[in-house]
Amino acid sequence: MKTKARVIAMYLPQYHPIPENDKYWGKGFTEWRNVVLARPLFKGHYQPRIPADLGFYDLRVPEVREAQAEMAREAGIEGFMYWHYWLGNGRMLLQRPFQEVLKSGKPDYPFCLGWANHSWTTKTWTKGKQLQLDTMIMEQLYPGKKDYVNHFNYVLPAFKDKRYITVDGKPLFVVYDPLSMPDMKYFIELWKSMAIENGLKGIHFVGLRSGRTSSMQKLLDMGFDAVNDRSMWEAEAQAVGAKWKRRLISLFSRRMGLMLSKYEYKDIIRYIATEDHLLENNYPTILPGYDRTARAGIRAIIYHNATPELFKQHVRNTLTYVENKQEEHKIVFLKSWNEWGEGNYMEPDLKYGNQFLEALREELVID
- The mean pLDDT value for 319-330 works out to 98
Q: Is residue 312 part of a domain?
A: yes
Read off the pLDDT of residues 176-225 as tens digits, 9 standing for 90 and up. Answer: 999 999 999 999 999 999 999 999 999 999 999 976 556 899 999 999 99
Instruction: Report how far residue 14's alpha carbon sits from residue 103's, in angstroms, rounded to the nearest whole number.
Output: 19
**Average confidence score pLDDT of the chain:** 92
Host domain of residue 109: 6-361
Q: Is residue 366 part of a domain?
A: no
By DSSP bridging, strand 331-334 and strand 285-286 are parallel
- The mean pLDDT value for 299-317 works out to 96
Which helix (H) or strand (E) element contains residue 6? strand 6-11
Residue 32 has pLDDT above 70, yes or no: yes
For residue 251, name the pLDDT band (cuts at 50, 70, 90).
Answer: very low
Residue 248 has pLDDT above 90, yes or no: no
Q: Is residue 108 part of a domain?
A: yes
Q: How many domains does the chain have?
A: 1
Residue 285 has pLDDT above 90, yes or no: yes
Who has greater pLDDT, 150 or 367?
A: 150
Q: Is residue 161 part of a domain?
A: yes
Confidence at residue 122, expressed as pLDDT on a 0 to 100 scale:
72
Confidence at residue 124, expressed as pLDDT on a 0 to 100 scale:
62
How many Cα atoms within 13 Å fall on the side-chain side of residue 284?
A: 25
Confidence at residue 239, expressed as pLDDT on a 0 to 100 scale:
85
Closest CA to 77 of 89, 68, 88, 86: 68
- The CATH number assigned to the domain holding 224 equals 3.20.20.80
Q: Is residue 367 part of a domain?
A: no
For residue 259, name the pLDDT band (cuts at 50, 70, 90).
Answer: low
Residue 263 has pLDDT above 80, yes or no: yes
- The mean pLDDT value for 160-175 works out to 98
Instruction: Name the burial class of residue 85, with classes exposed (0-12), middle (13-18) and buried (19+) by CB atoms within 10 angstroms of its CB.
Output: buried
Question: Following DSSP, what letter does each residue of 31-71 receive, concatenated?
Answer: THHHHHH---SSTT---S--B-TT-S--TT-HHHHHHHHHH
Residue 42 has pLDDT above 80, yes or no: yes
Who has greater pLDDT, 80 or 246?
A: 80
Instruction: Name 7's bridge partners.
Output: 332
Q: Is residue 308 part of a domain?
A: yes
Residues 34/359, Cβ–Cβ less than 8 Å: no
